[in-house]
Amino acid sequence: MLTLWTRVVQAAFIFLTTESIGVLLDPCGHISPESPVVQLGSNFTAVCVLKEKCMDNFAVNADNIFWKTNHAIVPKEQYTVINRTASSVTFRDVSSLNTQLTCNIYAFGQIEQNVYGITIISGLPPEKPKNLNCIVNEEKNMMCQWDPGRKTYLETNYTLKSEWATEKFADCKAQRDTPNSCTLDYSPVYFVNIEVWVEAENALGNITSDHINFDPIDKVKPNPPHNLSVRSSEELSSILKLAWINPSIKSFLRLKYSIQYRTKDASTWSQIPPEDTSSTRSSFTVQDLKPFTEYVFRIRCMKEDGKGFWSDWSEEASGITYEARPSKEPSFWYKIDPSHTHGYRPVKLIWKTLPPFEANGKILDYEVTLTRWKSHFQNYRVNDTKLTVNLTNDRYIATLTARNLVGRSDASVLTIPACDFRAVHPVMDLKAFPKDNKLWVEWTAPTESVNKYILEWCVLSDKSPCIPDWQQEDGTVHLTYLRGNLMESKCYLITVTPVYADGPGSPESVRAYLKQAAPSKGPTVRTKKVGKNEAVLEWDQLPVDVQNGFIRNYTILYKTAFGNETAVNVDSSHTEYTLSSLTSDTLYMVRMAAYTDEGGMQLVSIHLEQQKKESQEQEEDIECVVNCLHE
């Protein structure tokens, strides 16, 4: 008798017998149940039944059966021999989702053979669907959603059913990838109640959700308003007028609206108060807007009584409010060229452009008026932010206004004192410090009444001139930050000047860094004097361009060729230091570094082994070697 093994589609491996080669007979046994689906956590028993012919041919009976799950032998304690042809295996509290179970024998008492195999599929019955709700999309369809409950691990079908009192509609079967929703292809009739429910079913059972009954008009989601337009008003620069076309459902349904707006560059939306848009309309005027500002709008609608759902947002539309007179006068300052010729002095008047929220429109030009004390005035119309004039040594009153299409700003007034004016009353306790990536300036106000403060700052450099930037602050301010494009590791010279009714006060200055770094290079050190047991070192202060911060101290490190290195800290105000208690006739290596609040320069070693007499000067760039001579 020959044997032949093969794999079947649903079972695993089946032990077969043939009477002759190529002739397939029945398997030697089978497992019952054939295709089990078992609930997770439950018990399960399978029975393997051998056929008499196989038992005779291979000298086996049920005592020779052993079971495997996923190729691992099941403990014999779980077996039960029912009779000479059948053996069962029991699993308690099934927890594996898919298990391969095989019935096996030892043919002729020693050859392991597989008789039959099945797959145990396990999972859970469906839970009752909850939170069923439907949305009626105007003129389109009805989409219902629900909570399907726990995962079943089985193929589970969800069917949405609906009916009127006198008519049932076609079922809607949920897609496998979206078992929590289904969309009916018809649009329900308004003002006629419909009943809707969900049925869930899999191999372990079926269950039905609660039925809901509603008028589709109370679940409607209207189409969004369309053709939204925005129009400005020349009479009022703080309003924009909106208009739109309502969805067709408005013909038998009253609507309310939600209108949102933002400035063009903003990311967050502002909301029109709901009570202002709570009834059907096709236009609205938005108030309290900023002049000459572009706004973006969007609108949506829903049933006036609040039942149903908001429509999607309309397409956005934008508009620009009309211009208004500038709301603030420009910041205004001056500079006097120190050169005087024939009783005249060149005076450069400078001012800042108004920010958009103060300009309230496009600035067309500036008007500057100069009035000499108790004399006539000169008038200039300028399209720039500076004006240079030659003035006598007398006192002048300068005024500046900015003009847009609607009108002029209030005037900035500046007193340019006479040539013999002596500035007094500076600010006190001036200091500057970095915080939150800004460079802050703080001071104590003078006892006299101050009209305004002028803050000027520039980058100190050994390679380029100090080109100042400036800003103006109100006379009540004593703490502010510099509103410019500041750079890290640069030294800023900051000057604060109080401005009084009769002219500027004395300026006060302070140096500061937005952020410090370690110096770009170390100091150049030289030997000033070499003695028997000491050496005097000197160096130059680091150029401001390489300091990158406030130099807090220097560190001098020195050692003999085979000795330990000694470190000495030197105050940053010093440019000279004496190394004492040195051993005569010994070669020393000396290094030096400068430190800011952010660390020191990592020195590059340069070995210069030079010996010179005591009266000679020895120098190197970063590292020097000192030879202390005999007497």
pLDDT value at 620 more than 60: no
pLDDT value at 134 more than 50: yes
pLDDT tens by residue, 174-185: 999 999 999 998
Pairing between strand 37-39 and 111-123?
Answer: parallel
pLDDT of residue 624: 43
Helix (H) or strand (E) holding 56: helix 52-58
pLDDT value at 612 more than 50: no
pLDDT value at 475 more than 70: yes
SS (H, E, C) 81-130: ECCCCEEEEEECCCCCCEEEEEEEEEECCCEEEEEEEEEEEEECCCCCCE
- The predicted model gives 42-47 an average pLDDT of 95
Highest mean pLDDT out of 282-296, 331-345, 369-383: 282-296
3 by Cβ neighbours in 10 Å (0-12 / 13-18 / 19+) ranks as middle
- The predicted model gives 591-595 an average pLDDT of 91
pLDDT tens by residue, 521-550: 888 888 888 888 888 999 999 999 999 999
Cα distance between residue 543 and residue 491, in whole Å: 11
pLDDT tens by residue, 349-397: 999 999 999 999 999 999 999 999 777 789 999 999 999 999 988 899 9
CA atoms within 13 A on the CB side of 322: 15
Alpha helices, DSSP H only, in 458-586? 544-547
pLDDT value at 333 more than 90: yes
- The predicted model gives 46-50 an average pLDDT of 96
Beta strands in 395-427 (DSSP E): 396-403, 412-416
Pairing between strand 220-221 and 130-137?
Answer: parallel
pLDDT value at 21 more than 70: no
Provide the percentage of residues in the chain whose pLDDT is more than 90. Answer: 74
Residue length, the chain? 631
What type of residue sits at position 420? D
pLDDT category at 630 given cuts 50, 70, 90 is: very low
Q: Is 560 helix (H, G, I), strand (E, B) or coil?
A: strand
pLDDT value at 10 more than 50: no
Lowest mean pLDDT, pick from 313-322, 376-385, 433-442:
376-385
Contact in structure between 425 and 505 (CB atoms under 8 Å)? yes
pLDDT category at 12 given cuts 50, 70, 90 is: very low
pLDDT category at 27 given cuts 50, 70, 90 is: confident
pLDDT of residue 602: 52
pLDDT tens by residue, 389-399: 999 888 999 99
pLDDT value at 453 more than 60: yes
Pairing between strand 365-372 and 386-392?
Answer: unpaired
pLDDT value at 617 more than 90: no
Please state, as a whole number, how many other Cβ atoms lie within 10 Å of the Cβ of residue 283: 10
551, β-bridge pairs: none
pLDDT of residue 522: 86
pLDDT of residue 248: 93
Cα distance between residue 235 and residue 231, in whole Å: 12
pLDDT category at 19 given cuts 50, 70, 90 is: very low
Helix (H) or strand (E) holding 32: strand 29-32
pLDDT of residue 186: 81
Mean pLDDT over each residue of the chain, to the nearest integer: 88
